[in-house]
Structure 1
Amino acid sequence: MLRVPSSIQTSQFEMLSIRRADELRADGSRSDGSEMTFVAYRSDVYPARNEIFFEEHAVVVVLEGEKKFSSPTQELHVHKGQVLFFQRGCYSMNESIDANYRSLVFFMNEKMLKEFVGQHLSLFKAASPPPPADLILSMSASPTFVTFTQSLLAYFGGKSPYLNELLRLKFQELLLHLLELDAKATPAGQLQTILLQIYQGQKADLDYLMSTYLLKPLSMSELARLSGRSLSAFKRDFEEHFHMPPGQWIRHKRLEHAQFMLRNTPKNVSEVSMEIGYESVSHFIKAYKQQYGFTPKQAV
């Protein structure tokens, strides 16, 4: 599974990064600012379908061509002029439908999103609609948004001493444009709801989170981020809700799924082992026998 933006290679993409302002440590000293990938541009065709984990919320702007994206609840065929907002999580991205596919991908650090909402709370006073059920929001680019994206292309390869400050302004401009597109979308206001929830620190429902991501190869820290919690809070809330530690619960549920597949599908032990996230078949067999008292082959 690709993890973006951390998996993005400069040999594959052109990138612009924002260096965040220095932050105070707990002891009062200043830490060095770190870079956040702001936008990546790619013009060649993706070779095959990829499973992707968006480590940050992301916006994909389709400049040319067509492509297919899917979330646990959606299948989207996108084309030039569409603007997609991806909530942090796992997605499938199919190969480009034509050789002309080009896109800009923006990554939205949660701290900067909270700062933006805090600076523009007056834009979020209107009653918000219920949170969207789908993880991908689709909007149509306006003429002014197209002009905005075109203005960014000139910054790739730029060496201006003011580039970082200009990109921080572009981040704000991007969000304001997106709110404008969101107000004209159907249904309207869903992005506004998501941003307000991020600002308020709302946490994800653990039942929904685990049913969606049970079989995905995500670390405990990644699951905690998806839930909107720190790692320690995620472990505490998880154990209170499910009455066992997350690692134990995940292992138990994955092996239950393995037993179902072995008895109801033609998949062999190796295929089932891989599907539930075991890299070693021998480790899968050992865990399965420990839970059920017999080997996977005896379950068939």
Structure 2
Amino acid sequence: MLRVPSSIQPSQFASLSIRRPGTDPADGSRSDGSEMTFVAYRSDVYPERNEVFFEEHAVIVVLEGEKKFNSPTQELHVRKGQILFFQRGCYSMNESIDANYKSLVFFVNEKMLKEFVNQHLSLFQDRHRPLPDEPILSLTSSPAFTTFIQSLLPYFGSGTPFLNELLRLKFQELLLHLLELDTSGQLRAILLHIYQGQKADLNYLMNTYLLKPLSMDELARLSGRSLSAFKRDFEAQFHTSPGHWIRQRRLEHAHFLLRNTTKNVSEVSMEIGYESVSHFIKAYKQQYGTTPKRGN
């Protein structure tokens, strides 16, 4: 499973980064976390199908071709001119439809995003708009937004000494364009939610991502909490550790599949995240007192 942006490699993507305080512009050295990828240009190898975990909020702008994006609760088929906003922690299965797919992927750093909202609070006056139910927001491009995208392309490979300052302005311009396209107000609600530091509902989060191969750190980030706060809040709500809860719920799902589908033990084991069938059989027997078999 890809974890973006950490999985972005120069050999696969052309990218532009914004340098944050801590980088020495004289020698290019930087302390950990002092540079962030702002936008990456990619052309998929066809056919491509992969699972992606978004480590940062992201905006995908489809330049050419078609692609499918499936979150745990959504199925989106996008084409040229469509824009997708992914909230940090979103899990998606992506599949190219044709060989022509090209896109720009913007990574929206949360600290800079909060600074943007703080600078433009007058744009967020409706503070009671509910959050959208889905993790991926779809928008449609406009002529002005298309012109903005075209204005970015010359910066790939640019040697201008002012690139960092120009990209910071482009970051602001990107968000303002997206707010203009956000006729439903859903993006405004998301950005305000992030700005206010509100946390995700743990029950919804855990049931949505139960069968996904996410680490405890990634689940904590999805919830908007530190790892320690995630574990503390989880145990207060569910009266058990998140690891124990996940194991038990996955085995309950396996029990359901064995009774109600034609899937065999190996298929069920794989579906609930066990790489070893023998480990699955052992865990299942500990919970149900018998070995797993179809019709249990």
Q: TM-score, normalised by structure 1?
A: 0.91
| 1:27 aligned residue | none
How far apart, in 2, do the equivalents of 1:148 and 1:58 lie? Answer: 17
How far apart, in 1, do the equivalents of 2:215 and 2:274 lie? Answer: 13
Pairing 1:224–2:225 present: no
Amino acid at match of 2:9: Q
Alignment CA distance shift 1:50-1:33 (3 Å):
closer
How far apart, in 2, do the equivalents of 1:172 and 1:42 lie? Answer: 22
Q: Check whether the contact 1:19–1:33 (CA below 8 A) recurs between aligned residues.
A: no
- For this pair of structures, how many residues does the alignment match? 289
SS in 1 for 2:130: coil
How far 1:127 sits from its partner (Å)?
Answer: 4.5
CA shift digits 1:138-189 (9 cap, x unpaired)? 111111111111111111112222212221221111111111111xx3xx21
| 1:166 aligned residue | 166
Q: Identify the match of residue 261 of structure 2 among 262, 265, 276.
A: 265
Trace 1:211-290 onto structure 2 (pairs within 5 A).
Answer: 211-290=207-286
Percent identity between matched residues is 78
How far apart, in 2, do the equivalents of 1:18 and 1:63 lie? Answer: 22
How far apart, in 1, do the equivalents of 2:114 and 2:245 lie? Answer: 32
Trace 1:123-202 onto structure 2 (pairs within 5 A).
Answer: 123-182=123-182, 185=183, 188-202=184-198
| 2:78 aligned residue | 78
CA shift digits 1:248-288 (9 cap, x unpaired)? 11111111111111222122222111111111222212211
CA shift digits 1:98-130 (9 cap, x unpaired)? 322211011112122111111221221235522
How far 1:22 sits from its partner (Å)?
Answer: 3.1
| 2:54 aligned residue | 54
Gaps in structure 1 of 5+ consecutive residues? 24-29
Amino acid at match of 2:174: L
How far apart, in 2, do the equivalents of 1:11 and 1:179 lie? Answer: 33
How far apart, in 1, do the equivalents of 2:82 and 2:110 lie? Answer: 23
Amino acid at match of 2:187: L
How far 1:216 sits from its partner (Å)?
Answer: 0.5
Amino acid at match of 1:231: L
| 2:200 aligned residue | 204
Amino acid at match of 2:35: E
How far 1:31 sits from its partner (Å)?
Answer: 5.7
How far 1:46 sits from its partner (Å)?
Answer: 4.2
Pick which of 170-179 and 126-135 moved more.
126-135
CA shift digits 1:173-221 (9 cap, x unpaired)? 1111111111xx3xx2110000000000111111110110001010111
Please give the root-mean-square deviation of Cα atoms over the aligned residues, in Å.
1.9
SS in 2 for 1:283: helix
How far 1:299 sits from its partner (Å)?
Answer: 6.4
| 2:288 aligned residue | 292
Q: Check whether the contact 2:259–2:294 (CA below 8 A) recurs between aligned residues.
A: no
Q: Check whether the contact 2:265–2:294 (CA below 8 A) recurs between aligned residues.
A: no
Q: Check whether the contact 1:18–1:38 (CA below 8 A) recurs between aligned residues.
A: yes
| 1:94 aligned residue | 95
| 1:41 aligned residue | 41
Amino acid at match of 1:154: P
How far 1:39 sits from its partner (Å)?
Answer: 0.9
SS in 1 for 2:221: helix
Q: Check whether the contact 2:234–2:241 (CA below 8 A) recurs between aligned residues.
A: yes
Alignment CA distance shift 1:61-1:237 (3 Å):
same
How far 1:33 sits from its partner (Å)?
Answer: 5.4
Q: Check whether the contact 2:86–2:137 (CA below 8 A) recurs between aligned residues.
A: yes
Alignment CA distance shift 1:33-1:233 (3 Å):
closer
Alignment CA distance shift 1:169-1:101 (3 Å):
same
SS in 2 for 1:202: coil
Q: TM-score, normalised by structure 2?
A: 0.92
Q: Check whether the contact 1:52–1:93 (CA below 8 A) recurs between aligned residues.
A: yes
